[in-house]
Amino acid sequence: MRIAVLSGKGGTGKTLVSVNLAAEAKTSSYIDCDVEEPNGHLFFKPDDVQEEEISVRIPRVDDKLCNGCRKCVDFCKFNALAYIKEKLIIFGEVCHSCGGCVILCPEKALIEKEKVIGKVQKGISDQVMVYTGILNTGEASGIPIIKKLLAENKRDSNKLTFIDCPPGSACIVMESIKDADYCILVAEPTLFGVHNLNMVYELVKLFNKPLGVVLNKCLEGENPAEKFCLERNIKILGRIPFDNELGMLNSNAEIAARESKKYNALFSSLLETVKKEVQHETTTNP
Amino acid sequence: MKIAIPVDEKSLKSNVCVSFGRTPYFLIYDIDTKESTFLDNSAAASTGGAGIKAAQTIVDNKVNALLTPRCGQNAADVLGAADIKIYKTTNTSVKENIDDYIAGRLSLLDEIHAGFHGHGGN
């Protein structure tokens, strides 16, 4: 069972929710797909960490063989190649590593070269398998790393898995939720929060995934995110208060569900609600 | 001597387009013959790398200079490899920018942005 946790912007509480749910579930997997700034490992502090480098294949040209036919330039949907002053220029960070140019080149002037873009780590914290994707600074796309993370975890797919998504609703988020059975949207109680919630809500609807919302940073008084959910008949899975104790635990990189009775109870009940929802959704809409 | 300008419409009365890579058209203007040609920018609908493709079009049309309000790094690299100078337009009028260029009143575009790549901009 794969549960993706996402939100329209950073800092709403994706990591808080996914880390604590994974910790609460005991035997589970936590996958940090926020490869540009993964931070779930700071909470889990996993042991026995194994690491693997991730690389992509980028074409390289042999200028002596290239005859300037431009078949590769015309073929590339991402315009990663240009032919200027009788010389082929390749933009590695624009390339999506499809390999098409290499296949097409009639002169066999293009060869593929491995380029390391980051790494994945796998370790254990109590009984939680902690997967972390790390994209090297300056690299354009973390999608190959997310693909690897999710494929790695597929072997343990009978376990409850929490996918901590990158913020926003771009390609990298789509890749993270693609194979999820259920999506948890984390929302802040502000108008800005509602705008961001709507972005991910539309995305998840587009993917036809069952979803529920966790209202984070709840205060007394009106909650625009709650209103948004009620108006659209979106399931509210739980509410996390805007609370000093939780803030302290979190900023000390402690897992609230493991350290505090109050939050153990809160996340335990949230986990039960989520499990029930996922089960309901997978039996009614398999 | 030819110059290129990204334009919103196929007319000398058009405005300069705010985007280089995704402009709908390019005006290619020959300063010596005063001849103008409008090109469809096939890069406008690209999934990615629009600047690279648009710059390739500019290079293939053998222009000497590009007049644009802004330009991304990848496009600037392509144009630079072809020794095409990039000048910054000062207002939206195509006509005035051509006159300013001829009179030597335009300065080189020195702020090359890193590219928007789906993260905003126009």
B49/A170 CB distance under 8 A = no
Q: What is the pLDDT of residues A65-76, one digit of tens each?
A: 999 999 999 999
Which residues belong to CATH 3.30.70.20 in chain A? 63-108
Return the pLDDT at A157.
Answer: 66
Q: What is the pLDDT of residues A230-255, one digit of tens each?
A: 999 999 999 999 999 999 999 999 99
Return the pLDDT at A152.
Answer: 87
Return the pLDDT at B110.
Answer: 86
Return the pLDDT at B120.
Answer: 41
Return the pLDDT at B84.
Answer: 97
Fold observed for domain A63-108: Alpha-Beta Plaits (3.30.70)
Domain-by-domain residue ranges, chain B?
2-102
Return the pLDDT at A286.
Answer: 62
Return the pLDDT at B119.
Answer: 47
ipTM for this prediction: 0.87
Q: What is the pLDDT of residues A253-264, one digit of tens each?
A: 999 999 999 999
B59/A84 CB distance under 8 A = yes
Return the pLDDT at B122.
Answer: 33
| Minimal C-alpha gap between B96 and chain A (Å) | 30
B46/A76 CB distance under 8 A = no
Return the pLDDT at A139.
Answer: 87
What would the DSSP string read from start to end of chain A? -EEEEE-SSTTSSHHHHHHHHHHHTSSEEEEE--TTS--HHHHH--EEEEEEEEEEEEEEE-TTT-----HHHHH-TT--EEEETTEEEE-TTT-----HHHHH-TT--EEEEEEEEEEEEEEEETTEEEEEEEEPTT-S--HHHHHHHHHHHHTTTTSEEEEEPPSSSSHHHHHHHTT-SEEEEEE-SSHHHHHHHHHHHHHHHHTT--EEEEEEEE-SS--HHHHHHHHHT--EEEEEE--HHHHHHHHTT--HHHH-HHHHHHHHHHHHHHHHHHHHHHHH--
| Minimal C-alpha gap between A91 and chain B (Å) | 8
A84/B56 CB distance under 8 A = yes
Per residue of chain B (122 residues), what is the pLDDT tens digit?
A: 999 999 999 999 999 999 999 999 999 999 999 999 999 999 999 988 999 999 999 999 999 999 999 999 999 999 999 999 999 999 999 999 999 999 999 999 988 887 766 544 33
Q: What is the pLDDT of residues A46-67, one digit of tens each?
A: 999 999 999 999 999 999 999 9
**Alpha-carbon distances, residue B41 vs B7, B19, B45, B51, B106 (angstroms):** 10, 11, 9, 10, 24
| Minimal C-alpha gap between B47 and chain A (Å) | 6
Give residue A186's Cα distance to chain centre: 14
Q: Considering only the beta carbons, identify the residue of B43, B48, B81 that sits closest to A94.
A: B48
Q: Exposure string (b/e) for A80-102, b if CB count within 10 Å is 16 or more?
A: bbbbbeeebbbbbbbbbbeebbb
How many CB atoms lie under 10 A from the CB of residue A55? 14
Q: What is the pLDDT of residues A130-155, one digit of tens each?
A: 999 999 998 888 999 999 999 988 87
User: Residues of A with CB below 8 A from B117's CB?
Assistant: 140
What DSSP character marks residue B4? E
**Alpha-carbon distances, residue A167 vs A150, A173, A256, B56 (angstroms):** 17, 7, 22, 34
Percent of chain A whose predicted confidence (pLDDT) is above 70 = 99
Which residues belong to CATH 3.40.50.300 in chain A? 2-54+118-284
User: Residues of B with CB below 8 A from A170's CB?
Assistant: 118
- CATH number corresponding to A2-54+118-284: 3.40.50.300
Q: What is the pLDDT of residues A179-210, one digit of tens each?
A: 999 999 999 999 999 999 999 999 999 999 99
Return the pLDDT at B121.
Answer: 37
Q: What is the pLDDT of residues A95-113, one digit of tens each?
A: 989 999 999 999 999 999 9
Banded model confidence at residue A281, pLDDT cuts 50, 70, 90? confident
Fold observed for domain B2-102: Nucleotidyltransferase; domain 5 (3.30.420)
Percent of chain A whose predicted confidence (pLDDT) is above 90 = 91
| Minimal C-alpha gap between B67 and chain A (Å) | 19
Q: Considering only the beta carbons, identify the residue of B47, B56, B118 that sits closest to A77.
A: B47
- Selected residue with higher pLDDT from A89 and A281: A89
